[in-house]
């Protein structure tokens, strides 16, 4: 009965409905996640208050659990519900109905790895931006919040073995890659594109929303540009698995690199590639390769589309 309920609705109504579905899902998952934590962690209300103290990193296991539950409720589940009430055909609406070929998957993975020096370069530049003097209070608050967030991320990344590493890959790399792409590219980018009848506007606004959602001003620009790249990967391929793959590679690289640095397998140069006074050339080479590889991806997808159109004509 709910299948395709909003199919004929205006895009404004669809946007409001999408936000409403997300809010309801977050509330339900958070409440049930907390209730389920009582038997899972053998705690009561007082114990829950202790575990929810994000400044105490000894509670990292509980924080990972709650983060997983909230992420599922915020990003992963809502797009499927939204696709069902908007279209009825979930896989088609979310561009999940095509199996990607190996070549484009490898290509987007290489693009993301080649982009690391440029991303680091932009992140360093972004971190040096400052607000006007009259907004110094807000700036100090944001800097403090980002430092606290960075400490929490590092605590999440800490792994005492391969088992924890795989758990981190699932929580920090896979769930965000799937959920955030389904929500921002599959839902919001689609609604905005349909609303404005302009794919470029859809890509950039969805990327802005994607970056803003992280509430990290000093990493806003590189994250938004990554969102732009993910958006165009979807526009050109009409295949959600490719931006998901690109997003996963970016996240997984960070998780694995931190693990290898923390276990002294590699040095910390990976983390600083593209930063500092002497790394401008590395950033320049990085963005040049990314543009070149992205163009190859664009041409490949265009050729695949032309081949498919020719086959369809031949069949008719």
What's the pLDDT at 112? 96
Whole-angstrom CA distances from 183 to 179, 231, 265, 267 are 6, 12, 36, 36
DSSP state of 303: H
- Domain co-membership, 27 together with 138: no
DSSP symbols for 180-192: HIIIIIIIIHHHH
- Domain co-membership, 134 together with 207: yes
Asked whether the beta carbons of 156 and 63 are under 8 A apart, the reply is yes
With CA atoms as reference, report the closest residue to 154 among 279, 54, 267, 48. Answer: 54
User: Each residue of 41-79: pLDDT tens digit?
Assistant: 887 777 677 666 666 666 888 888 999 999 999 999 999
What's the pLDDT at 27? 97
Residue finishing a domain among 43, 76, 93: 93
User: Each residue of 72-103: pLDDT tens digit?
Assistant: 999 999 999 999 999 989 999 999 998 888 99
Strand, coil or helix: what is 269? helix
Domain of residue 46: give its range.
Answer: 1-93
- Domain co-membership, 40 together with 78: yes
- Domain co-membership, 85 together with 6: yes
- Domain co-membership, 196 together with 296: yes
Region 274-298: what's the mean pLDDT? 86
The strand ranges marked E within 19-160 are: none
Look up tokens 């983390």; give the residue: 271
- Domain co-membership, 244 together with 176: yes
pLDDT over 90 for what percent of the chain? 57
Q: Count CB atoms within 10 A of the CB of residue 88.
A: 14
pTM of the model: 0.91
Count of domains observed in the chain: 2
- Domain co-membership, 63 together with 165: no
CA–CA distance, 187 with 180 (Å, rounded to integer): 10
């Amino acid at each position: 009965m709910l299948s395709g309920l909003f199919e004929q609705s205006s895009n404004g109504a669809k946007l409001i409905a999408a936000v409403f579905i997300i809010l309801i899902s977050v509330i339900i998952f958070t409440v049930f996640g907390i209730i389920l934590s009582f038997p899972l962690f053998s705690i009561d209300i007082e114990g829950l208050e202790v575990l929810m103290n994000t400044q105490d990193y000894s509670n990292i296991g509980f924080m990972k659990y709650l983060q997983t539950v909230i992420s599922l409720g915020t990003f992963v589940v809502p797009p499927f519900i939204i696709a069902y009430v908007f279209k009825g055909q979930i896989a088609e609406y979310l561009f999940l109905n095509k199996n990607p070929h190996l070549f484009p998957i490898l290509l987007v993975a290489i693009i993301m790895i080649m982009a690391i020096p440029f991303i680091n370069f932009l992140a360093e530049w972004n971190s040096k931006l400052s607000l006007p003097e009259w907004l110094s209070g807000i700036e100090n608050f944001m800097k403090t919040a980002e430092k606290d967030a960075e400490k929490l991320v590092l605590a999440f990344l800490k792994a005492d073995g391969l088992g924890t590493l795989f758990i981190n890959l699932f929580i920090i790399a896979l769930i965000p890659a799937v959920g955030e792409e389904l929500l921002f590219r599959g839902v919001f980018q689609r609604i905005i594109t349909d609303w404005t009848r302009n794919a470029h506007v859809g890509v950039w606004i969805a990327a802005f929303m994607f970056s803003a959602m992280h509430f990290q001003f000093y990493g806003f620009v590189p994250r938004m540009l990554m969102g732009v790249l993910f958006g165009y990967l979807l526009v050109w391929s009409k295949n959600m698995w490719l931006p998901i793959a690109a997003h996963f590679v970016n996240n997984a690289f960070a998780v694995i690199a931190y693990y290898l640095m923390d276990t002294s397998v590699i040095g910390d140069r990976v983390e600083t590639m593209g930063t500092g006074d002497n790394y401008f050339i590395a950033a320049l080479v990085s963005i040049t390769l990314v543009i070149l590889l992205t163009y190859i991806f664009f041409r490949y997808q265009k050729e695949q589309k032309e081949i498919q159109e020719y086959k369809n004509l031949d069949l008719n």
